[in-house]
Amino acid sequence: MASDSNQTLDAWAEQSDYKWGFVTDIESETLPPGLDEGVVRAISARKQEPEWLLEWRLKAYRHWLTMKEPEWAHFPDRPWGPIDYNAISYYSAPKSDEDRPKSLDEVDPKLLETYEKLGIPLEERAALAGVAVDAVFDSVSVATTYREKLAESGVIFCPISEAVRDHPELVKKYLGRIVPPNDNFFAALNSAVFTDGSFVYIPKGVTCPMELSTYFRINSLNTGQFERTLIIAEEGASVSYLEGCTAPMRDENQLHAAVVELIALDDASIKYSTIQNWYPGDENGKGGIYNFVTKRGMCEGDRSHISWTQVETGSAITWKYPSCILKGDDSIGEFYSVALTNNRQQADTGTKMVHIGRNTRSNIVSKGISAGHGQNTYRGLVKIRPKATNARNYTQCDSMLMGDRCGAHTFPYIEADNDTAMVEHEASTSKIGEDQIFYCNQRGISSEDAVSMIVNGFCREVLAELPMEFAVEAKKLLEVSLEGSVG
Amino acid sequence: MTTETMNDQRQFESDFTRLAEAGGPLAELRREAYERFVELGWPTTRGEAYRYTDCRPIAEADLQLAASAAEVPMDVLRPHLLDGVPCHRLVFVNGIFDETLSDIGTIPDGVTVMRLAEAITEQPDMVTRHIGTTIDWKIDAFDALNTAFIEDGLMMHVPAGVHLEHPVHVLHVTRSGDKPIVSHPRTLIVVENGGRATCVETCCGLGDDPCLVNPVTEIVAGDDVHVDHYRIVREGEKTWHIGGFGLIQGNRSNVNSCCMALDGEIIRNGMTGTLDGTEGMANLRGLAVVDGSRHVDNFLRVNHMKPECDSREYFKHILTDKGSAAFTGRIYVEEDAQKTDAVQTNMNLLLSENAKVRTRPQLEIFADDVKCTHGATIGRLDEQAMFYLHARGIGKEAAKSLLTFAFANEVIEDIELLPLRRMMESLLLERLPHGDLLRSMGGVD
């Protein structure tokens, strides 16, 4: 490789300052660190939850105690120390909890400022893009916009704690149905101590009039965030939901163990998009967020459709496998992912597509970019159950490597129990060629722009799946993650 | 890897003690391996390595080493022999060398083709230097078990610059009886710089009673070496064949290995290839015809340790009846192994609705300037191709056979050893409906 472009690529590995790292100085009402039944009861009491939910949490907690923490990360670069679950505070709410703001004007200006710095001006975004925002600041929702407009069409979009109060029958029916509390270690933990998250209900035949959006942000030192999101699309309903996040710079590792459940009934369609840009740690791998998320969608009805799109650029360690259970006949599951790891980041992500119904189809496109010492892994399962006649799956996993100390790994599992199944899996690994950079330089394009262009081209199939505003943000994010490190 | 103790591994204690008393240069290795086996226990489906192969029936069987050789007439062996090509032939029955059936013939000067048992006493340095270097018996219970019971098998040594003209054919015959027997044949092939050799292994079974065949073959290839290796598995109906294969290659070496899994209740083919010199080429292929309620598991790992090596993995499974097949392939690329070119392909043809397939094509890459691709497909015969043939007056069954043969032939057609290729073709045709029709159609010559 020519030394010029070598430098260019090496420079990619260098850490650009994390622009969005700051701590908002708001007095938080926080439970002391530690986890026991008392903490679970305290969270439930503060949320004024009904008895059944407290029981549900306690059951999850007791089960969690019997479970073993998973340990798969086998990369020596970043020994994953055990998480001290008693050093985490499980509840943190902004002080103004007693007197919650009714509109944006009443929101603590400091909070708004925080969002401003993040580049998410709530009003502007809401007004310009017609997006309703359910912003989660630590654990309690502080602002919900466009609620009325949504209510007109019968859509419920509210914090899950509110849904527990106002729509207990729906929550009771669906909570934990897709991701049962004993599903895995982190889902069990989440079920015991979840504090907030979003609840979406789209009634029969309704197409949600706007894209729903929520921003998660981890604040308050030593506070793990345990959101719980539940989206239900009734027959013929359709919704697009956006989730995006940034977190302040920290030196201690923070745990994030969210659970997202999607349910699509007959002819319903749910599109779930994520941009994840939490603090990845510094160039030596100090600090950063542990992002251990359980996301699962159930295509319960015939001809239902669930689509996951994610752009993962942040977090020190990401373990995330948004999955689809294709139960209804003719249902469709999709998974589009871009994961970028730089410095000492590790991303272990992929999907599970479980084909149960007839004529079910799934499509998986995963793009991994590794730079520096980053380790990027695709791990996925395609399972064709015996009764899933005419199931189709197409999987494509592409990896791009920048620098000679990073890694790209692919661990697909394919299990077919039906002879009519057609399953295809393809994967490739490549790097940015010096000839490509040279070609661009020749035409007056700087090395930095060239790399950015090539990366964007590499991810295009996935970025094209994002809603427009999000696609712009995602593109920017990829650039920022590599900004100042080239040339 | 997590392996959980499933049963009492001490069932081999008395056999092992008897063997240990004999001592010899491998006594220490055997003891270590035995202890490791006891530690690991029988693999379970909860571990990743044997996730798709249930070893419980093996663990539960009361397996014993054969006490004496069973008698096998030459006629029974004949269909397994290669026609029209002189071979150096060694035959083992239930793990015990059979002198009357063997025909080692004349060996060129300097070349060693002999029983491993003899080599252990006659060339102990050679054996101890290479044995156990290509496989990691510390992680695989069956490899550990084989290593614990190394007693006999084949030892081949080709010195630098020598081309061994005729293939070496080693046959492991298992004649099952009232008691489930176990054999652990070991093959060690060492080819020095610039050498060339061909080895064919046939594992065949007589009788339908349960038994375990646990062969391990190791190839140590120096620089500029060319080795062709074939393993044909045609065990008895109730035989569990859990085979291991290890390969380590030097600079510019070229090694081909091909495994045909045809008969046996469970056939596991574990392969580890390590490219430890630059510009090496490892070409691993496999074909499995899985009918009845057979289970075939191809479990591979290719380690690219040095730059500019190529590897190819090409495995095809044809499944009918209640057959099930699993494929796991891992391409591992070290940080230093730049300019690696690795291709991995696993194709599965499902011919019945009860067939099952599990496939895990995996890449683990720590170098940036590499070209690694893998692909896996699962599907039925192409409807359009069927229609095309049908429209030209070829009946449904014949068309099915023709297309299936074409699918399988891609693995076989590259076999350089002509008599072996012919044998494979006719074995394949035997298993297809209207195979004789295909033969007469001239599709196969």
CB contacts of B377 in chain A (<8 Å) are: 423-425
What is the C-alpha to C-alpha distance for residues B325 and A414, in angstroms, rounded to an integer? 12
* Nearest CB to B366 within list A402, A407, A414: A407
How many residues are given for chain B?
445
DSSP codes joined into one string, A113-165 = HHHHHTT--HHHHHHHH--EEEEEETTEEEEE-SHHHHHHTT-EEEEHHHHHH
A94-108, A417-431, A455-469, B241-255: which range is least confident on average? A94-108
pLDDT at site A223: 47
Question: How large is the greatest C-alpha to C-alpha distance in chain A, in angstroms?
Answer: 69
Average pLDDT score over chain A = 78
pLDDT, greater one: A117 or B357: B357
Q: What's the confidence (pLDDT) of residue A338? A: 92
Neighbours of B17 (CB within 10 A): 10
Quick check: A250 pLDDT over 80? no
Q: Is A414 within 8 Å of B378 when comparing Cβ atoms? A: yes
Mean pLDDT across A406-410? 89
Q: Do B377 and A411 touch (CB under 8 A)?
A: no
Nearest-CA distance B139 → chain A (Å)? 16
Weakest mean pLDDT among A286-290, A472-476, B82-86? A472-476
Q: Which residues of B fall within a CB distance of 8 Å from A71? A: none
> Tokens 């097949």, residue?
B325
State residue A95's pLDDT score.
45
Cβ <8 Å between A1 and B369:
yes
Q: How confident is the model at residue B183 (pLDDT cuts 50, 70, 90)?
A: very high
**What is the C-alpha to C-alpha distance for residues B190 and B188, in angstroms, rounded to an integer?**
7
Nearest to A416 among B356, B372, B373 (CB): B356
Compute CA distances A349 → A410, B332, B339, whole Å.
10, 19, 27
pLDDT band at residue A133 under the 50/70/90 scheme: low
pLDDT at residue A344, as a whole number: 84
Q: Are A235 and A265 in contact (CB under 8 A)?
A: yes
Test A418 with B368 for CB contact under 8 angstroms. no
> Mean pLDDT lowest for which of A150-154, A416-420, B352-356?
A150-154
Indicate the SS3 state at residue B275: strand
Please work out, in degrees rounded to the nearest 5, the angle formed at the alpha carbon of residue A411 by the alpha carbons of A406 and A414: 160
Minimal-distance CA residue of chain B relative to A400:
B368
User: Which whole-number Å values give the CA distances from A329 to A54, A174, A301, A309, in the listed order?
Assistant: 36, 21, 7, 23
Is B359 touching A (CB cutoff 8 A)?
A: yes
Terminal Cα distance for chain B, rounded = 47
CA Rg value for chain A: 22
Query: Encoding tokens for residue B420?
Result: 């072996």
Nearest-CA distance from B120 to chain A in Å? 39
**Among the listed ranges A32-46, B258-272, B298-312, which one has the minimum average pLDDT value?**
A32-46
**Residues 288-327 in B contacting A (C-alpha not used; CB under 8 Å):** 319
Average pLDDT value for chain B = 91
| CA distance readout (Å), A389 to A264, A364, A383, A422 | 21, 19, 12, 10
Chain B residue closest to A412 (CA)? Answer: B360
Q: Quick one: tokens of A332?
A: 């469709």
**Cα angle, residue B28 at apex, residues B26 and B32 outer, rounded to 5°:** 120
Q: How many CA atoms lie within 13 A of A277 on its CB side?
A: 22
DSSP state of A183: S
pLDDT tens, A142-172?
445 566 678 888 998 888 888 898 999 999 9
pLDDT at A124: 43
In this complex, do A429 and B378 lie within 8 Å of one another by their Cβ atoms? no
Q: What angle do CA A339, B327, A419 make, to 5 degrees?
A: 95
pLDDT, mean of residues B46-55 = 92
Position A324 scores a pLDDT of 96
pLDDT at residue A469, rounded to an integer: 67
Q: Which residue has the higher pLDDT, A16 or B390?
A: B390
Q: What pLDDT does residue A23 have?
A: 54
DSSP string across B287-347: EEEE-TT-EEEEEEEEEE-STT-EEEEEEEEEE-TT-EEEEEEEEEE-TT-TT-EEEEEEE
Between B363, B367, B380, which is nearest A409 by CB? B363
What does the DSSP 8-state code read for residue A227? B
Residues 6+ apart with CB under 8 A from B282: B247, B249, B255, B257, B273, B275, B302, B309, B310, B311, B312
Show me where the domains of chain B are located. Answer: 3-277, 387-445
Per-residue pLDDT, A435: 84
- Is the pLDDT score of A226 beyond 60? yes
- Contact state of B377 with A408 under an 8 Å Cβ cutoff: no
Answer yes or no: do B373 and A429 touch at CB < 8 A. yes
Top pLDDT among A117 and A59 is at: A59
Q: Please compute the mean of the pLDDT values over residues B377-389 and round it to a whole number.
A: 90
Do B376 and A405 lie within an 8 Å CB cutoff? no
B191/B237 Cα distance (integer angstroms): 35
Please check whether residue B364 touches A, CB under 8 A.
yes
Interchain contact, B377 vs A425, CB within 8 Å: yes
Contact B361 A431 (CB under 8 A): no
Q: How many other C-beta atoms lie within 10 A of the C-beta of residue A159?
A: 23
**pLDDT of A261-316, one tens digit each?**
999 999 999 999 988 877 787 777 777 788 889 999 999 999 999 999 998 888 88
Q: Which residue of A has its CA nearest to B353?
A: A419
Identify which of B338, B352, B375 has the shortest CB distance to residue A425.
Answer: B375
In this prediction, residues B414-431 reach a mean pLDDT of: 90
B369 interfaces chain A, CB cutoff of 8 Å:
yes
Write out chain B residues lying below 8 Å of A414, CB-based.
357-360, 376, 378
| Contact residues on chain A for B374, CB-CB shorter than 8 A | 410, 425-427
